[in-house]
Amino acid sequence: MNVPKVHLKNSTLLKTPLWVSIATLLGLVVLSFPLIMILNQYHEDIVRQNFIEQESRVLNEQIKQKIDIGDSIAIAYAQNTVIRNALLFEERAPIISELQLINREYAQKTRFKNIQAHIITADGRSLVKTFELDSYNQDLTEHDLVKRAVETGQAISGINIGGAASHFRVINIQPIYSLDDESEVIGFVAISQGLRSVVESFHAHQVDYALFSSKSNQIDSDGREFTIGKAHYFDASPMAGFVFIQKQIRTDNLYFLNDRLVYTQPILDYGNHILAVHAVSIPLDVYYARVWQRNVDAIYILGAILLSTLSVSGLLLMVMKRSVIRPLAVFEKTIKKVNSSKEYSTSVKINSDDEIGRLSEQFNILLRQTEDLIHSLQYQQQAIDSSLIVSKTDLYGKIVYVNQPFERISGYSSKELIGKSHNLVRHPDMSPELFKDMWMTIESKRPWKGQIKNRAKDGSAYFVTVNILPIANLNGEVTDYLSIQEDITQLIELKESLQTAKEVAEKANQAKSQFLSSMSHELRTPLNSIIGFAQLLEFSNLSEKQKSQLQNITKSGRHLLLLINDILELAKIESGNLDMSLEPVNLKELIVDALHMVEALAKQKQIKLHCTNGDNLDHFINADYTRIKQVLLNFLSNGIKYNKDQGEIYVYVETFDKDGAGWIRIHVKDTGLGIPRKELKRLFEPFNRLGHENSNIEGSGIGLSIAKDLVERQGGEIGVESEQGIGSDFWFAFPLIDREQAVNRELSNTILNEFSHDATSTPFVEKVDYKKVLYIEDNPSNIGLMEDIVETLNGVSLTVANTAELGLEEAKKIVPDIMFIDINLPGMNGDELLPLLKQLPELRENGTVFYALTANAMIEDVDRGLEIGFDRYLTKPINVAEVIALLSQE
């Protein structure tokens, strides 16, 4: 991508620093005037201060230097033996010649040509004065310094009036000691120096120096005037006409006097009186030149700072332009391009290591992610469009978007749909209530889901499941509604056809059940007669051969009956007509109940029944009591049937863990024939008797397959372990349920004796007590059989009624001891009749017993019969021996 041109004036980011720079510059220019004034004032102060410091230092150094020189010269004189000798006797001549000698030597060897010296006596008189050799005995006792030297006998120096010249000079006084006694002061030597060298040294740096003294002796007067010293080297001084007043010069001072800057320093005597005053000065133009020089220097520095600030900010602007503004412009251009073209594959090309470089990298990643997102969204859109019907409406239900599947299924083009109300495709069959609910839901920003019948352009109906989602913007305001629909027309049609098929099947099934039930009844009735009369025949005088033939008839009849029962049961299960209601079943109750029921059969075959863990049986499972008992009975009766003589059966339970839940397994273990390993797989297949088809053991081979079906339908498991010749262990297992959940069922004390009829086969009873028997039965053959049975008994009178209603009448009339009641009767059936009979007080008083005698031989029929109050439930065909036994009971 080309780097876009960036103009400073167009760059918002640069504008601010640019304006700040310009404003700073202008501010600095405006401020520079007062700044220079302040600077000037400051520099004047500095120059004056410097002037004071520098010139006072120079002055002090010069004076000190002079005093040091004076001291060394005076010491040289004071140690001269000639002088010391001569002074003792105040002999002037040797001193004079010695002084001349020394002066000459000084003149030759130093720059001091004329050293002025006084040789002074110990009491302060000048014995000799150089160059005025004739002067002697000059009284110096009043001279300030001499007086002090005489009084102290010590060396002393300072600026003071130089002898007779009355000029102020630098004076050094040294004591002269006696040659004999080094501690005895015999006089003094006093050296005085003029101030010319001081003047010259100041001149050397363009400063004028002069000493001002006063003619007045009024040393304490403030008005005492000081004028320039008389020494000739002050003659040319520009300060010649200056007059200082004592009041002004008590301390160091600075003045602007006659175009000069003047600094004064007082010279004090030992009494702190002003003796004279040093004055140094420079012309004002020199002073201002110095100030100005400093100003110029400062302006240069300021200018330099300004310039460097300007160039630094200029440089910074350039750097910013290069490294920030230009990359940002690239950024802006790329983003604009992406925004207008929607091409997210573009990327920002900024190759730098700085923050913007890193920002661009992150931005490019963002672009990639956006591209991926858009790609996947497009993909999803395609996926949705290829399978789902999508439309979008505004807040008023006007279509704003439809996808192709919508156009396809509705038969309208998007042009025809957009802008129209979504009602366009609504089928008139749809209830307005549904749409009211839909609008209420989506208007409250909640999604709505439902099934709708729509109408296509050609008038045909189509069905859709609809998901309507309110689409909200970032502020949470719903802007439109998105409807995602799925075509379920085929499904609905299929459902409808399935429903029809189901109804047909149900009808067929009902017909089948009806057929089976009536067949059961129809088959049992003649069988009842066959077996019944065969049994009766057994009581007549027959040859052994006839007896065995008759037993064959009875046995085959029973086998046929068993087969019919099992086939009916299987048919019932397969047709799904088996009603099962799962409830908590107490295992103890179940096992005790079932054991009672097979007790007689077991006794007959001399098989011992054991319940090994009787105490641990108090568990509950969720099952249909009757059906699970049926399974247990099947296990038990098989255990008895397929056992050895005097064999054993063990019923036991064991709990175990399965997928974290507690289960219980109920075992029926026998010591019987066992099952060959290879047969185990086929054990639960219907009609498989595993070789027992031709044996004496009665059976149909259906029981176990029914058991398996029943257990699995109730959510349990079934299985077997068996070893041929040793025995089999059949079990079923169910999840355990909590004791609390279980509703305690009353332990049933009824004993179903389906399998024990043989056990009850009582020996033929010749004599029976007189008993009134009422038999309510509509089938003549059954009536005939009953009549034949009764005929064989003494003391039994039989009354027959063909309907329940007639039976009720008869019962009231004869008050029977025993009533046999068929269940399937024309009009009122046996079940309905029983409570009416039981209400009859005469029957209650008499203790009439009620036996159901019916072809409804299914186990649930038996259970139900006992539950409603029959004392015994006898199934057809009539077991003659059993009926005789009942009729013979006391």
Per rule CB under 6 A, is residue 683 in the interface with ligand ADP? yes
Q: How many angstroms separate the CA atoms of 622 and 735, rounded?
A: 8
Least distance from ligand ADP to the Cβ atom of residue 732, Å: 13
Cβ neighbourhood burial of 841 (10 Å; 0-12, 13-18, 19+)? exposed
Per rule CB under 6 A, is residue 283 in the interface with ligand ADP? no
Q: Are 135 and 108 in contact (CB under 8 A)?
A: no
Alpha-carbon distance values, 701 to 316, 667, 691 (Å)? 104, 20, 10
Which of 446, 689, 812, 838 is in the footprint of ligand ADP by CB under 6 A? 689
Nearer to ligand ADP, 670 or 822 (CB): 670
Least distance from ligand ADP to the Cβ atom of residue 507, Å: 32
Nearer to ligand ADP, 729 or 831 (CB): 729
Which of 728, 779, 856, 888 is in the footprint of ligand ADP by CB under 6 A? 728
Per rule CB under 6 A, is residue 700 in the interface with ligand ADP? yes
Closest CA to 742 of 584, 582, 593: 584
* Structure tokens, 246: 């004592």
Provide DSSP, 756-779: GTTTT-PPPPS----EEEEEE---
Per rule CB under 6 A, is residue 861 in the interface with ligand ADP? no
Nearer to ligand ADP, 525 or 688 (CB): 688
Which of 568, 632, 673, 783 is in the footprint of ligand ADP by CB under 6 A? 673
- End-to-end distance of the chain based on CA atoms, in angstroms? 119
Per rule CB under 6 A, is residue 675 in the interface with ligand ADP? yes
Stretch that binds ligand ADP, among 280-288, 446-454, 577-585, 688-696 (CB under 6 A): 688-696
Which of 273, 333, 665, 692 is in the footprint of ligand ADP by CB under 6 A? 692
Least distance from ligand ADP to the Cβ atom of residue 773, Å: 35
Per rule CB under 6 A, is residue 560 in the interface with ligand ADP? no
Nearer to ligand ADP, 228 or 718 (CB): 718
* Structure tokens, 839: 């209400």
Which of 124, 187, 405, 699 is in the footprint of ligand ADP by CB under 6 A? 699
Nearer to ligand ADP, 269 or 679 (CB): 679
Q: How many angstroms separate the CA atoms of 591 and 635, rounded?
A: 12
Stretch that binds ligand ADP, among 50-58, 241-249, 371-379, 683-691 (CB under 6 A): 683-691
Residues contacting ligand ADP: total by CB under 6 A: 20
CB proximity list for 510: less than 8 A, separation 6 or greater: none
Which of 327, 557, 703, 877 is in the footprint of ligand ADP by CB under 6 A? 703
Least distance from ligand ADP to the Cβ atom of residue 870, Å: 27
Least distance from ligand ADP to the Cβ atom of residue 692, Å: 4
Residue 792, Cβ neighbours under 10 Å: how many? Answer: 17
Closest CA to 876 of 860, 852, 853: 853
* Structure tokens, 695: 């044996």
Residue 127, Cβ neighbours under 10 Å: how many? Answer: 22
Q: Within positions 315 to 344, which residues make up the interface with ligand ADP, using CB under 6 A? A: none
Per rule CB under 6 A, is residue 671 in the interface with ligand ADP? no
* Structure tokens, 203: 């001149």
Q: How many angstroms separate the CA atoms of 709 and 572, rounded?
A: 11
CB proximity list for 403: less than 8 A, separation 6 or greater: 384, 385, 388, 389, 390, 391
Stretch that binds ligand ADP, among 91-99, 172-180, 255-263, 693-701 (CB under 6 A): 693-701
Site string for ligand ADP, 762-801 (x = CB under 6 A): ----------------------------------------
CB proximity list for 606: less than 8 A, separation 6 or greater: 645, 646
C-alpha count within 13 angstroms, C-beta hemisphere, residue 826: 6
Q: How many angstroms separate the CA atoms of 418 and 393, rounded?
A: 9
Stretch that binds ligand ADP, among 103-111, 224-232, 671-679, 804-812 (CB under 6 A): 671-679
Nearer to ligand ADP, 95 or 733 (CB): 733
Nearer to ligand ADP, 6 or 690 (CB): 690
Least distance from ligand ADP to the Cβ atom of residue 570, Å: 10
Which of 144, 593, 670, 863 is in the footprint of ligand ADP by CB under 6 A? 670
Stretch that binds ligand ADP, among 470-478, 515-523, 670-678, 774-782 (CB under 6 A): 670-678
Nearer to ligand ADP, 406 or 642 (CB): 642
* Long-range interactions of 537-542: CB distance < 8 A, separation 24+: 539/764, 539/792
Nearer to ligand ADP, 563 or 840 (CB): 563
* Long-range interactions of 417-424: CB distance < 8 A, separation 24+: 417/391, 421/396, 421/397, 422/391, 422/393, 422/397, 422/398, 422/483, 423/397, 424/399
Site string for ligand ADP, 589-628 (x = CB under 6 A): ----------------------------------------
Site string for ligand ADP, 626-645 (x = CB under 6 A): --------x---xx--x---
Closest CA to 885 of 735, 780, 758: 758
- Cis preceding linkage at 432, omega within 30: no
Least distance from ligand ADP to the Cβ atom of residue 646, Å: 16
Q: What SS3 class is residue 532?
A: helix
Per rule CB under 6 A, is residue 672 in the interface with ligand ADP? yes
Closest CA to 587 of 449, 480, 734: 734
Stretch that binds ligand ADP, among 132-140, 377-385, 594-602, 684-692 (CB under 6 A): 684-692
Which of 348, 623, 704, 776 is in the footprint of ligand ADP by CB under 6 A? 704
* Structure tokens, 195: 């101030």
Q: Are 396 and 422 in contact (CB under 8 A)?
A: no
Stretch that binds ligand ADP, among 105-113, 295-303, 545-553, 687-695 (CB under 6 A): 687-695
**Residue closest to ligand ADP when measured from CB atoms:** 699
Nearer to ligand ADP, 356 or 702 (CB): 702
Q: How many angstroms separate the CA atoms of 265 and 51, rounded?
A: 13
Closest CA to 760 of 604, 577, 576: 604
Q: What SS3 class is residue 69?
A: helix
* Structure tokens, 852: 């159901």
Least distance from ligand ADP to the Cβ atom of residue 531, Å: 19
Least distance from ligand ADP to the Cβ atom of residue 822, Å: 28
CB proximity list for 829: less than 8 A, separation 6 or greater: 804, 823
In 564-716 the beta strands, taken as DSSP E runs, fall at 583-586, 608-611, 620-623, 648-658, 661-670
Stretch that binds ligand ADP, among 72-80, 312-320, 464-472, 685-693 (CB under 6 A): 685-693
Residue 544 φ then ψ, to 5°? -60, -40
Least distance from ligand ADP to the Cβ atom of residue 707, Å: 7
What sign has the CA pseudo-torsion 247, 253, 256, 258?
A: positive
Nearer to ligand ADP, 658 or 682 (CB): 682
Stretch that binds ligand ADP, among 248-256, 312-320, 672-680, 846-854 (CB under 6 A): 672-680
Least distance from ligand ADP to the Cβ atom of residue 664, Å: 21
Per rule CB under 6 A, is residue 647 in the interface with ligand ADP? no
Interface residue list for ligand ADP (CB under 6 A): 634, 638-639, 642, 670, 672-673, 675, 683, 688-690, 692, 699-704, 728
